[in-house]
Structure 1
Amino acid sequence: MADAAPRLKSLVEQLLGDPLPVRIRAWDGSEAGPPGAPVLVVRNRRALRRLLWKPGELGLVRAWVAGDLGIDGDLYSTLGLLAGLIWERGDDARTLVQAVRDPDVRAAVRGLARMAGPFPPPPPPPEEVRKARRHLHTRRSDKQAISHHYDVGNDFYELVLGPSMVYSCAYWSSPDGTLEDAQRDKLELVCRKLDLKPGQRLLDVGCGWGSMALHAAREHGVSVVGVTLSQEQATYARKRVAEEGLADRVEIRVQDYRDVGDGPYDAISSIGMAEHVGAQRYLQYACDLYRLLKPGGRLLNHQIARRPQRDETTYNVDTFIDAYVFPDGELAPVGTTVTQLERAGFEVRDVESLREHYALTLRRWVAGLEAEWARAQQLTSPGRARVWRLYMAASALAFERNRIGVNQVLAVRTPGPGASGMPLRARTWN
C-alpha cells in the first residue's frame, strides 16, 4: 500500500505536538495533509535519516540541498507556513529536554527511524562548510570565508544581481520600480549621506564588484580605493573600471581592511561588509576605520542587524547561514553596532532602517534566479543553486517578519571638542 505520507504526517505531528500546515507527498506517491496547501515533497527515506541525525534546521537544509526534499507550490508560502515550526517556536533547552523525555515523542522518533530504513548518517552535501571554530576572523579564515561565498563565479552573480552587480539592500521609491534603479538610488543615497565632493578620497571597504566605487567616482568626482578579499570580485571590478575610463580615479585592491595604511580618507563606505567582521573583532574594526578617517570625515556603515535576545549569552549563529552561506558571519543588534562605533570615537549622527527595502530586493534576486534556473545550476551546481534559492527566500521572509533588519548608520570623526562638522539640518539627502 502507498501509505508513507499519512504515516509520516502522523509521526511528525506527534513529534512536534502541532498539526502540519502543509501537505506531504512521500516517495511512494502517497499524499496527506490539508487539501490545497503547499506540498512538501519527501523524495526518499534518506531525507528522514538526515532529519533524525540532525533534527531541526540543519537537517532540513541538508535534505533540501541534496535534493531529498522539495516543494511543490509557492516557496514563500511554504516557508511562511513552516516558519512557526522551524524558526519561531521559541523552544529553549529546558523545553527540548522535556520533549525528549515525553514517551509520545520517543515513540514518534522510533516510528520515524523504522520508516527511515538503514541508519548510517548520510554525508552532508558538498556545499556545506566544515571548519574548526577556534580561530575565527583571522586574516586567513576571513579570506577563506569570503572566498566560499563570493568566488562562486561572476557569471552566477550577474544572473542573480542583474546589471547593477550590487549585492546589498536596494533603495526603492516604489515596489514596482526596477532593481537597477533601486540599486542606483541606494548608491546615490550613500554618496549624499557622505557628502562627497570632487577631489576627495573615499575608501570603500568590501567593495564587491566595484559598483559603489564607480558610482562615486563617476557621479561625484572623488578618488576611490576599494578593498575586497575576493580575487574574482577584484578582477571583475578592475575590468569595469577600465571599461569606464576611470582607472585614474579608482583603485581596486585585494586587501584586508586591517592592512589599509594609506589614510587619512575624507569618507569611508562599508556596505554589507561588517556582517563578516565578528563580535570579537568589531571594536577593532571600528577603531581601524576611525584611524583611517580625517577629522570631520564621515563613515556610512550599512549593515544587517538581528533582533536582540533577552539573554544575549544564549545567542547562537544561524546554523544554515553559517554552514552554507556566510561562514563565520555574525549579526548584532543595531544598538550594539552604534555602541561599538561610539566606543571607537565616532559620533553617530543618523540611523535609518531599510528593512522593508531588503525584503523587496531579495524577492527580486530570487525571481532572477528562478527565471534562469537551468543556467544557474550549470554555472555552479544544483546543490549550490538550491542553497541560494532557499537562503534568499527565507531571508526575504525574515526581513518581512521583523526577525532581522538592515540599517545605515552615519557617523563622523568629530574634528574638535564639541564640533561635529555637520550642518544644522544634516538630512539633505532626503
Structure 2
Amino acid sequence: MWDRLLVAFLRVGVRTGTIHLTLPDGVTHHIGPGGGPDVAVTLHDPTFSRKFFMRPDLTMGEAYMDGRLTIANDDIRSLITFGLRNARGRKVWPPFKQIAALAGRMKSWSIWNHVGIARRNVAHHYDISEELYDLFLGETKQYTCAYFRRPEMTLEEAQTAKMAHIGAKLLLKPGMRVLDIGCGFGTLAITLARDHGVQVVGVTLSQVQLAEARRRAAEAGLTDQVEFRLQDYRDVGESFDRVVSVGMMEHVGLPHLRTYFQKVSDILTPDGVALIHYIGRWSPPNTISPWFNKYIFPGAYCPAVSEAMRVVEKTGMILADLEVWRGHYERTLQEWLKRFDRNIDRIRQLQDDRFLRMWRYYLQSAELSFSEAHLVIHQLHLAKGRYTVPVTRDYLYAPSNT
C-alpha cells in the first residue's frame, strides 16, 4: 500500500524532471514530464515508503547512507536537485502548512545548546579525525565559505581573499585585542595577528581544532600574539577592541541568539567593532534539514536576517553594514567535494563506507541548499559607535585590500 501511495504522490507532485523509481518488488515506474534532472533510483527497503511519509528528509538521507536507496551512477546531485525543484513553490493546504510551520518553530526553540550540549555537538562534527579535514579543505584549512573575488581563483586564493576582506572590515590597528569566537583550526586568528600586528584570542570547543590551531601558531612563530583556548564564548570575561566570528553563529541555536549577541556587545570596548559571518537565509524563518541536525550539525540553526536583527537591536550595537554573499559557498562546497572524491581512497582507510556516503550526501546537499534553495552568507558589521565604521565602503577597496 505504501509503495502505491508513494508512486501516486510522485505522479501528482512531480512538475519538472523525471525519476525512474524501482521499488523493492522490482517494478520500475517512470514519473515526470522530463526536462531534467533525470535520475534513476532503486529502493531496497520495503519500509522506505512508509517512513518517507513520516519523515521524508531524514528517511531519504538515512536510506542513502545505509545503501537501502541507490542511485544510478551514484548521482546524488541529480536526486537532490530533483527533490528541491519539485518542492519549490508547492502549494500546501493551509491547515497543513500552518501545522508544519508551528512544528518547525517549536523544534527550533527546543534546541537548547547549553555549555555541555554545545561541547558535545562540536565534538560530534569536528573531533572525528585529525587527518580528515586536511584531505578536502586545502592548505588554509578554512572550514567556512571562501570569497571568490575573481572567477579564476583557486580555493586557497579565495580563502585568503576572505580573510583579507574580513581583516579590512575589522579596521585593525597594531596592538588591538581581537576575540575570534569559534576559531576553527586557527588560520584566521594567525593571519590577522601576522598581517595586522594585533593580539588575538581564539576560543573553540573542539579538542582537535585546539591542538591544530596551537600547532599552527607555534609554526608561524606567533605564540606571543595568538592564544587559543578550549572555552565557551559565554565564559569569556575580558574586553576586546574587535570581535570576529566566522561560521559559528549558526551553531548557537535560536533560543541562544540573544545571549550570543549580548555577549558580543558586553565584551566590546566603547569604540569596538564586530564582524559576524554566518549562514543565513533570504526566506522567512525556517528550520534546517532534520537529517543535517541529526548527522552533521546537531543544534544548528540558520537564522533569517529578521531573526538576527530582532536580537541585535536590543543590545545597543549598531548595524553599520550588512553584506550578502551569493554564489560563493556553492563554489566552496564544490571544491571541497572534488577534493574529497580525489582523496576517497585515503578517506576510506580512515572511515567506513557509511561515513563516506554520509559525507558526500552532506557536501552535495549543502551546495544545493545554496544554489537551489534559500541559504546565503550574511556578514553583519556591528559597532558601538555611530561613526566607528566608515560611512562608505571605499576603504575596503583601497589598493592594499584588492
CA separation of 1:209 and 1:28: change in aligned 2, threshold 3 A: same
After alignment, is 11-20 or 238-247 more displaced? 11-20
In the alignment, which residue of structure 2 is the partner of 1:13?
Answer: 7
In the alignment, which residue of structure 1 is the partner of 2:209?
Answer: 233
2:81–2:372 CA contact under 8 A, matched in 1? no
CA separation of 1:50 and 1:250: change in aligned 2, threshold 3 A: farther
Larger radius of gyration: 1
SS of corresponding position for 2:313 = helix
SS of corresponding position for 1:154 = coil
How much does 1:411 deviate?
A: 0.7
CA separation of 1:93 and 1:344: change in aligned 2, threshold 3 A: same
CA separation of 1:46 and 1:159: change in aligned 2, threshold 3 A: farther
In the alignment, which residue of structure 1 is the partner of 2:102?
Answer: none
Deviations 1:177-233 (A, max 9, x none): 200000000011000000112111110000000011111011111111000000110
Letter in 2 for 1:42: T
The answer to whether the aligner puts 1:409 opposite 2:380 as a matched pair is yes
Q: How does 1:72-221 map to 2 (within 5 A)?
A: 72-73=72-73, 74-85=75-86, 89=90, 91=92, 94-95=95-96, 136-221=112-197
1:205–1:270 CA contact under 8 A, matched in 2? yes
Q: How does 1:277-426 map to 2 (within 5 A)?
A: 277-309=252-284, 315-414=286-385, 419-426=386-393
After alignment, is 7-16 or 248-257 more displaced? 7-16
Q: CA RMSD in A?
A: 2.8
How much does 1:243 deviate?
A: 1.0
Q: How does 1:4-43 map to 2 (within 5 A)?
A: 12-16=6-10, 17-19=12-14, 21-25=18-22, 31-33=28-30, 38-42=38-42
Deviations 1:219-250 (A, max 9, x none): 11111100000011001111111111111111
After alignment, is 280-289 or 202-211 more displaced? 280-289
Letter in 2 for 1:421: T
After alignment, is 342-351 or 387-396 more displaced? 387-396
d(CA) in 1 for partners of 2:94, 2:85? 18
SS of corresponding position for 2:396 = coil
1:166–1:183 CA contact under 8 A, matched in 2? yes
After alignment, is 399-408 or 324-333 more displaced? 399-408
Percentage of identical aligned residues: 32
d(CA) in 1 for partners of 2:312, 2:116? 25
d(CA) in 1 for partners of 2:344, 2:94? 39
Count of residues in correspondence between the two structures: 381
Q: TM-score, normalised by structure 2?
A: 0.86
Deviations 1:115-173 (A, max 9, x none): xxxxxxxxxxxxxxxxxx96711100111111111112131111121111111111002
After alignment, is 335-344 or 286-295 more displaced? 335-344
1:152–1:380 CA contact under 8 A, matched in 2? no
2:3–2:23 CA contact under 8 A, matched in 1? no
SS of corresponding position for 1:33 = strand
Q: Any stretches of 5+ residues in structure 1 without a counterpart?
A: 1-6, 98-132
CA separation of 1:52 and 1:346: change in aligned 2, threshold 3 A: closer
d(CA) in 2 for partners of 1:426, 1:52? 49
After alignment, is 178-187 or 157-166 more displaced? 157-166
Q: Any stretches of 5+ residues in structure 2 without a counterpart?
A: 99-108, 398-402
Q: TM-score, normalised by structure 1?
A: 0.81
d(CA) in 1 for partners of 2:6, 2:343? 35
CA separation of 1:216 and 1:46: change in aligned 2, threshold 3 A: farther
In the alignment, which residue of structure 1 is the partner of 2:64?
Answer: 64
CA separation of 1:258 and 1:8: change in aligned 2, threshold 3 A: closer
In the alignment, which residue of structure 1 is the partner of 2:400?
Answer: none
SS of corresponding position for 1:214 = helix
